[in-house]
Amino acid sequence: VKELAAMVALYRPGPMAHIPRFIRCKFNPDQIQYAHPWLEPILEETYGVIVYQDQVLKIVQAIAGFSLGQADLLRRAMGKKKASEMEKQRENFLKGASEKGVGKKIAEQIFGEIEPFAGYAFNGAHAACYAMVAYQTAYLKANYPAEYLAALMGTYIDNSEKVVTTLEECGRLAVQVLPPDVNESSADFTVHAPTEPRYTGAVRFGLVAIKNVGKAPVEAILAAREKGGKFASLEDFCTRAFAEGLTSKSVIEMLIKAGTFASIHPNRRALLETLDDCCNSASRGAKDARAGLISLFGDAAPEDAAGTQASASLPSITDFSRGELLGMEKELLGLYLSEHPLKPFEPELRRKHKAMRLDAVKETQPNQEITVGGLITGVRTVFTKKGEAMLFVTLEDTSGVVSVTCFPRTASEYGKKLLMNAVVVVKGKASHRERFGGKAQAGAEEEEKTAQVEVLADRVETIVENAMAADARPRSVHIRIDGATRNMLRMLRETLVVREGGSPLYLRVETMGGEVRIKSPLLVDPDDALIEQVRRMMGGGPRRAWVE
């Protein structure tokens, strides 16, 4: 915990410069040096490096004879960074040090070390509290990953970007993320047994996480499930949930669109088609129950039975398209849970185009030339005073979101490629804009500045025009290797290795039992030049090598 506390305190604007020295002295105690022997008892626990605000106060007391009140005035002056006040405090410090027999050169050296530091420094107790939280968090994450991640997602329920980051962490830690389900979900994110052996645990999406649903309807659903068990059908759900006070058809519509009835029936369009009948029947049943109109055997009144029976048979209609289902998922859950439409194209973005992850854009330098890629989820057009069109594009990948600005020249040249749901590669420069957002962490005297990073586009390349389309997938390269000699196969491999890209490669072989298709671990660039080269090398025409 002591090491964590030191890390918390050091990782700040002023103290950060001392991190290399702290690490060096920690592992090489013989390199620890003190400007004056009186500093040793104060800085011994931090290897001769000033880490905490408390140490600054103790140093000025020990070296210059300051009282605690005078020491705090010095700390405040350093935080405000007023030159006149700092000069006054410096004179007081040097005078006090001289009176205690400390040489001027050493006193100036010590003051020079604490001057840029004190305004940002954490006090020891504050750093210790953060360290304890960090230690407890690390312990929970290491030993109870599913429970920890479920709690974390519940904390971020209104911040879809952070939920996306947590979902990525779930994948890294082999924790399965299960979709919301009216028969399995609780109100919040909960821990469940995984449904696949490759996972060590599972987190189930909570019903409250679905937009436009709300807490009261969820409580009614859970009450109905607790009393009568799992729901068998949509009309069973409506009948029992209405009896518990759920009266909003729109809430059930949101639940259907979010996929929470998949375990009951997978066709969302069919469920929505029968929703009116189910709600009307359930509403009449709830009114009759309140009025005491119950049959001798406790069954629903006969007039309701016909309506219930009618709604039980779902129409045989085609479900929504892949793009529509993904759109509903993003709209109601705030993220893509079942699959991200960009996922099939990420190898091409990363390996062929060398596009950086969008969560790494914030780590770039101002005006740094960068390449990013992702799914377009928003396009806004504005006009300059000259009447020229500019475009503001929202680009998303599986790690985050970034804003892309296209000035008139770029908008004119590439505007037709910047379409909703298109997957594109953007080359441009990182633009940093400072934002001020309230007070910095404890110990600071001024507003905290954060940088908002966007991309100023120069060039745009389309990977696929509509990633939501049912047939949207990366192009794949197919090579038939029947009759190929060992030397031909060696040359083929050498050619493919240097033509690395983002498209899957399949080797096809004709056998007695039919054609066998083998997926290669290599990803290649599916351009015409490669295909022609392979055909010449292996012999044969279009049936030897092609792109699908």
CB of 318 closer than 8 Å to CB of 470: no
CB of 447 closer than 8 Å to CB of 436: yes
Q: Alpha-carbon distance 120 to 14, whole Å?
A: 6
Positive/negative CA dihedral, 252, 253, 259, 264: positive
pLDDT reported for residue 351: 82
CB of 503 closer than 8 Å to CB of 525: yes
Of 390, 452, 396, 466, nearest to 426 by C-alpha is 396
Rg from Cα positions in the chain:
32
Chain centroid to Cα 96, Å, comes to: 53
pLDDT reported for residue 438: 47
CB of 431 closer than 8 Å to CB of 451: no
pLDDT reported for residue 77: 77
- CA–CA distance from 139 to each of 5, 195, 438 (Å)? 16, 25, 31
Task: Tell me the sheet residues that pair with 515.
Answer: 510
pLDDT reported for residue 220: 94
CATH, domain range 343-464: 2.40.50.140
Of 187, 191, 318, 182, nearest to 259 by C-alpha is 182
pTM of the model: 0.71
CB atoms inside a 10 Å sphere around CB 389: 14
State the Cα torsion 368-373-376-378 to the nearest 10°: -20
Q: How are beta strands 401-406 and 447-464 bridged, if at all?
A: parallel
Q: Residue 431 corresponds to which tokens in the numbers above?
A: 């633009």
Q: By three-state DSSP, how is residue 447 classified? A: strand
Q: Alpha-carbon distance 421 to 326, whole Å?
A: 11
Chain centroid to Cα 463, Å, comes to: 23
- CA–CA distance from 201 to each of 164, 185, 188, 351 (Å)? 18, 16, 17, 31
Q: Alpha-carbon distance 364 to 366, whole Å?
A: 7
Q: Tokens 């504050």 identify what position? A: 126
Tens-binned pLDDT, residue by residue, of the chain (548 aa) = 888 998 888 887 667 888 898 899 999 998 998 889 898 899 888 888 888 888 888 888 888 888 888 888 887 777 776 777 778 888 888 888 888 888 888 888 888 888 766 557 778 888 899 999 999 999 999 999 999 999 999 998 888 778 888 888 998 899 999 999 999 999 999 999 998 898 999 999 999 999 989 899 999 999 999 999 999 999 999 999 999 988 789 999 999 999 999 999 999 999 999 999 999 888 887 777 766 655 444 554 444 443 343 345 788 899 998 889 999 999 999 888 888 888 888 888 888 889 999 989 999 999 999 999 999 999 999 999 999 999 999 999 988 899 999 999 999 999 999 999 999 999 999 998 876 554 444 444 444 455 688 999 999 999 889 888 876 777 788 988 887 888 888 888 888 888 877 788 888 888 877 888 888 888 887 778 888 888 888 887 788 888 87
Q: How far separated are the first and last CA of the chain, in Å rounded? A: 56
Q: Alpha-carbon distance 351 to 463, whole Å?
A: 13
- CA–CA distance from 517 to each of 195, 229, 477, 482 (Å)? 29, 47, 12, 12
- Provide CATH 2.40.50.140 ranges for the chain: 343-464
- Region for 527 from its dihedrals, namely left if φ exceeds 0, alpha if ψ lies in -120 to 50, beta otherwise: beta
CB of 396 closer than 8 Å to CB of 375: yes
Q: Tokens 């219930």 identify what position? A: 308
Q: In sequence order, which residues have a C-beta less than 8 Å from that of residue 83 and are 6 or more positions away?
A: none
DSSP secondary structure of 123-181: PHHHHHHHHHHHHHHHHHHHH-HHHHHHHHHHHTTT-HHHHHHHHHHHHHTTEEEEPP-
Of 67, 77, 32, nearest to 50 by C-alpha is 32
pLDDT reported for residue 307: 37
Chain centroid to Cα 36, Å, comes to: 49
pLDDT reported for residue 227: 93
Q: Alpha-carbon distance 506 to 305, whole Å?
A: 57
